[in-house]
Amino acid sequence: MSQILSRRGWIALAIVALTAVILGFVGASQEAIIVSIVGAVAAIFASAAGRALEDDHPVVPTMPEPPSPLGPVLDALGEPVLILSGPRIASANGAARALLGSHIVGEDARIAIRHPAASGLLASEASAGPVALTGLGSADQRWEMQIAPIGDGRRLVHLSDRSGSHAAERMRVDFVANASHELRTPLASILGYVETLSDTAGDDPAIRARFLKIVFDEARRMQRLVDDLMSLSRIEAEKFRVPSDVVDLGALVDDTHAELAEAHDGRGRDIILEHDAGAIPVLGDRLQLSQLLHNLIGNAMKYGQPGTPVRVSITRDNGAIRLIVADQGEGIAPEHLPRLTERFYRVDPGRSRSVGGTGLGLAIVKHIVERHRGRLEISSRVGEGTRVSVTLRAPGQESPKPVS
Ligand code: ADP
């Protein structure tokens, strides 16, 4: 019995005996005393026996399944990863749950991914992919799925987000198509006129002179386009080399003013310069900043109302240098503003071509500003005019980006 009863059990028995003596003293009936003693002793022995049983067959506490050591690794991947056991999803990292839903663990992978290109591959046991899945998540997202066996009848499904590279590829294809189209139009015109000139029409001096002028203008148009295309690719090729030369922006604005004085039917006379007389140093590439000025002042001259001022000002802003080119032209409707720096985007293509535009001027400006780690802002009001602001770094202001 000493093995069954613990120290606490013996103390409890002593308390029972003491209770019986007290009940006797207070005059309780004999039956009541016996019933109390038997009940208490039975309870003590039952509890002791239970404890002994627990010692022989300890109850294993129900613990949550330990997290897989691979869990943090899969989460750190950042891209959706699933582990399948047969057709079911045994585990899914955070990115997979964010894409396919938090409920997917335990679900059939074909239901969770629900894509016609994926279901056959998810049903088979073999490795598969890469296979393109369009519209998973949102309609314009592109994913690439790969399936690889990892032993124990398990497979790893990896989804890579290809939306960015797909958009870049689409832009490249569009750009080549647009550039070819822009070049083909003047080329077709040149070929047509040259052919006509080689016929009898070329014998008439007046017709010949008129046609030759058209051929010359079209050839110049092609030349401007090729020049702009080459500028764009040069600037893009250098985009990671931040220019560090010190350039006097004030002097460069004065030079550009002089060069543009006679351009666009003498609109140069409408240019008003507003900047300090002394040097205004900025960190930059002189040639590219000159091209930026030509494009911005050129646009203000082309699209501004003849006879209205084109203001070119330079101010100091929080340590940075800010160039502003403002015109009083017809302005640009708000829906066009976000797209102006896209290649070949024009508000009015006919107008742009008639004033010698290539549709690349602002795209070039954007790339130059990006290479200079500057900031470009375009604001405009229809009927009032357009204002383009470029913020550049002053020497000693290496980083961060200048704040406007
Ligand atoms: P483009 O060679 O056609 O001038 P840009 O890239 O320089 O090409 O400009 C894109 C379009 O933005 C132009 O075709 C024109 O419609 C519009 N735009 C640019 N600057 C101005 C301006 N100052 N005022 C009004 N519209 C402008």
Q: What are phi and psi of 148, to 5 degrees?
A: -135, 135
CA of 138 to the centre of ligand 1 (A): 34
CA of 299 to the centre of ligand 1 (A): 6
**346 CA closest ligand 1 atom index:** 14
pLDDT at residue 315 above 90? yes
Write the CATH number of the domain with boundaries 70-161: 3.30.450.20
State residue 2's pLDDT score.
Answer: 46
206-260 confidence digits (pLDDT tens): 999 999 999 999 999 999 999 999 999 999 999 999 999 999 999 999 999 999 9
> Which residue's CA is minimally distant from atom 8 of ligand 1?
359
Beta-ladder partners of 343: none
Q: What are phi and psi of 323, to 5 degrees?
A: -105, 135
Question: Closest Cα partner for 400 from 318, 341, 323, 328?
Answer: 318
Ranges 71-85, 252-266, 365-379, most confident: 365-379
Structure tokens at 127: 């490795």
Q: Which CATH number fits domain 246-392: 3.40.50.720, 3.30.565.10, 3.40.50.300, 3.20.20.10?
A: 3.30.565.10
C-alpha to C-alpha distances, 79 to 84, 140, 295, nearest whole angstrom: 16, 17, 42
CA of 345 to the centre of ligand 1 (A): 8
State residue 9's pLDDT score.
Answer: 56
For residues 43 and 351, give the distance between their C-alpha atoms in angstroms, rounded to a whole number.
103
Domain spans of the chain, in order of start: 7-56, 70-161, 165-237, 246-392
State residue 70's pLDDT score.
Answer: 67
- Is the C-beta atom of 292 inside 6 A of ligand 1? no
Task: With cut-offs at 50, 70 and 90, classify the pLDDT of residue 141.
Answer: confident
- Is the C-beta atom of 174 inside 6 A of ligand 1? no
- Is the C-beta atom of 268 inside 6 A of ligand 1? no
State residue 86's pLDDT score.
Answer: 85
Of 73 and 197, the structure prediction assigns the larger pLDDT to 197
3-state secondary structure the chain: CCCCCCHHHHHHHHHHHHHHHHHHHCCCCHHHHHHHHHHHHHHHHHHHHHHHHHHHCCCCCCCCCCCCCCHHHHHHHCCCEEEEECCEEEEECHHHHHHHCCCCCCCEHHHHHCCHHHHHHHHCCCCEEEEEEECCCCCCCEEEEEEEEEECCEEEEEEEECHHHHHHHHHHHHHHHHHHHHHHHHHHHHHHHHHHHHCHHHHCHHHHHHHHHHHHHHHHHHHHHHHHHHHHHHHHHCCCCCCCCEEEHHHHHHHHHHHHCCHHHHHHHHEEEECCCCCCEEECCHHHHHHHHHHHHHHHHHHCCCCCCEEEEEEEECCEEEEEEECCCCCCCHHHHHHCCCCCCCCCHHHHHHCCCCCCHHHHHHHHHHHCCCEEEEEEECCCEEEEEEEECCCCCCCCCCCC
- Is the C-beta atom of 359 inside 6 A of ligand 1? yes
CA of 359 to the centre of ligand 1 (A): 7
**363 CA closest ligand 1 atom index:** 6
For tokens 């357009």, the residue is 386
> Which residue's CA is minimally distant from atom 2 of ligand 1?
357
For residues 77 and 313, give the distance between their C-alpha atoms in angstroms, rounded to a whole number.
49
- Is the C-beta atom of 352 inside 6 A of ligand 1? yes
- Is the C-beta atom of 91 inside 6 A of ligand 1? no
- Is the C-beta atom of 211 inside 6 A of ligand 1? no
- The C-alpha angle 282, 287, 289, rounded to 5 degrees, equals 45
How many residues are there in the chain? 404
Mutation pick for ligand 1 pocket among 324, 362, 380, 388 (CB with most ligand atoms within 8 Å) = 362
State residue 73's pLDDT score.
Answer: 77
**327 CA closest ligand 1 atom index:** 23
The strand pair at 281-283 and 271-274 is best described as unpaired
Contact 301, 310 (CB under 8 A): yes
- Is the C-beta atom of 385 inside 6 A of ligand 1? no
376-403 confidence digits (pLDDT tens): 999 999 999 999 999 999 998 765 454 3
CATH architecture of residue range(s) 165-237:
Orthogonal Bundle (1.10)
Structure tokens at 133: 């899945």
Average pLDDT, the chain: 84
CA of 344 to the centre of ligand 1 (A): 10
For residues 283 and 391, give the distance between their C-alpha atoms in angstroms, rounded to a whole number.
11
Tell me which amino acid residue 93 is. Answer: N
Contact 109, 125 (CB under 8 A): no
Task: With cut-offs at 50, 70 and 90, classify the pLDDT of residue 288.
Answer: very high
